[in-house]
Structures are given as structure tokens and as C-alpha cells.
Amino acid sequence: MAALSHAMTIAVNEWGWLDDSPLRKVTKPKEPRGRVRFLSDEERESLLIACKDSQNPYLFTVVVMALATGMRHGEILKLRWTDVDFERGRIVLHETKNGERRVVPLVGHAMEMLKGHQLNGKVCPLLIFPATKGQMGQKGQKHAQLRTAWLTALKKAGIHDFRFHDLRHSAASYLVMNGASLSEIAEVLGHKTLAMVKRYSNLSEAHTSKVVERMNQQIFSQKVAE
């Protein structure tokens, strides 16, 4: 319905084929909250081991980057060395899904891996993850293609019903479980509103419950003297 409504709007505003869109008066059904699939600790360990053992030279670093930053698949693969500021510990994304520039923190293990990759990444002075020699002829692709290596790693790790985009959900879920608020997650992931991160509210509520429980244990550890 959204696609058809957009087509009708174009027909009205751009082409003048219609006076009004017939879908303007149609109530659209409410969109679902969205899928939330994230890696358990055991799954994460198995996947990282499988990625590290992959014959693809980029897969392990790319997956670590996705888990550490919450960046999208395309955002990572299109990265240029000029986008990375090691001194300030950040990545500047100039092209994002919502069309706005975004700054992503780069710290810890992800930063060290990228620095190590920089020392060995002299094949391409621009792209961080350029296409390998065997991929250069694939429709003129300039960045690496990881689909086959990714699916192989998932199979080797024994992980089912998991997509690369779910690494982004995993990063968000880990942030929640480590005390990040929904507004902080939205800022890290680059969402303009909290609507997209509401799906993590149940994890946030679980974390809040633990915080309140610890507070109660502390203040009521000793019975108030009567």
C-alpha cells in the first residue's frame, strides 16, 4: 500500500495524470514493531570464530565492526580511509539511509582491528574493504562482496534464522543491556525518532528492573529501626 500510495502521489504531483490520489483516504494498517533477533553470548562466540577462520580476508573485521558500532552492511563496506579519524576515535558517515551525516564512535577492539587492517590494507588507498581480485568483474563492484563468506560462516557456526542486519540489532541489544537509554541507542544507530528503537523497550525494561532491584537491596539492606 505504501508503494502504491507513493506511485499515486507521483502521478498527481509530478506527472499531473490524476487530480488526487485515491489512496489518500484509505487508512493504512499499523506497521509491525519489527523483527528483533540478536546473538546470544554463545552464538556470538561461535560466529566470531567461524568468521576468523573464513578464507575471506575482510569478513572477521567487518562483523566485528557491525557488532561494535551498529553500522549497516552497506555503510561498512563503502567506508573510505578518509572517513576514519583514529585520533578522535570516530567514523564519519557521509551517506546514510536517512540522508544525514552521522558520526559513529570507534573504540576498543574495533579500533585496534581497523588499525591492524590499515597496516595490511595497501591494496586500495581509498576503500577500506575493496573488492578482491576475483570480484572485480562483478558488475563493476568496487567494494568487497561478503555474501558467500557470510553464509558459510553462519552454517559453520550452526546459527539459523540470522541475517547480517541482525548484527545491528545485536549491537543495539547489547547497548540496552549495558545501560544505554533508548535515546542514546537512537543516536548511535542514526534514527531520527525513538519509534525504530521502541522494539528494544522490553530489554530496556528488564535492565531498569535490575537497576531498581539493586537500589532497593542497598537502601533496605538493614531494617529501619522502629
Reduced to 3 states, what is the DSSP secondary structure of residue 29?
coil
The per-residue DSSP string of 178-211 comes to TT--HHHHHHHHT-SSSGGGGGGHHHHHHHHHHH
Give the span between the Cα atoms of 31 and 16, in whole angstroms.
30
Q: Looking at 88, 155, 165, 210, which residue is catalytic?
A: 165
Q: Looking at 44, 143, 168, 169, which residue is catalytic?
A: 168
* DSSP H or E run through 150: helix 147-157
Count Cα neighbours of 147 within 13 Å in the Cβ-side half-sphere: 3
Q: Looking at 44, 72, 102, 169, which residue is catalytic?
A: 72
Catalytic residue flag (residue 72) = yes
Give the span between the Cα atoms of 200 and 192, in whole angstroms.
16
Q: Looking at 33, 94, 97, 109, which residue is catalytic?
A: 97
* DSSP H or E run through 112: helix 108-120
Q: Looking at 102, 143, 174, 200, which residue is catalytic?
A: 200
Catalytic residue flag (residue 97) = yes
Q: Which three cell numbers stand for residue 168?
A: 545491528
Catalytic residue flag (residue 200) = yes
Give the span between the Cα atoms of 37 and 191, in whole angstroms.
18
91 phi and psi angles, rounded to 5 deg:
-120, 135
Q: Looking at 191, 198, 199, 207, which residue is catalytic?
A: 191
Active site residues: 72, 97, 165, 168, 191, 200
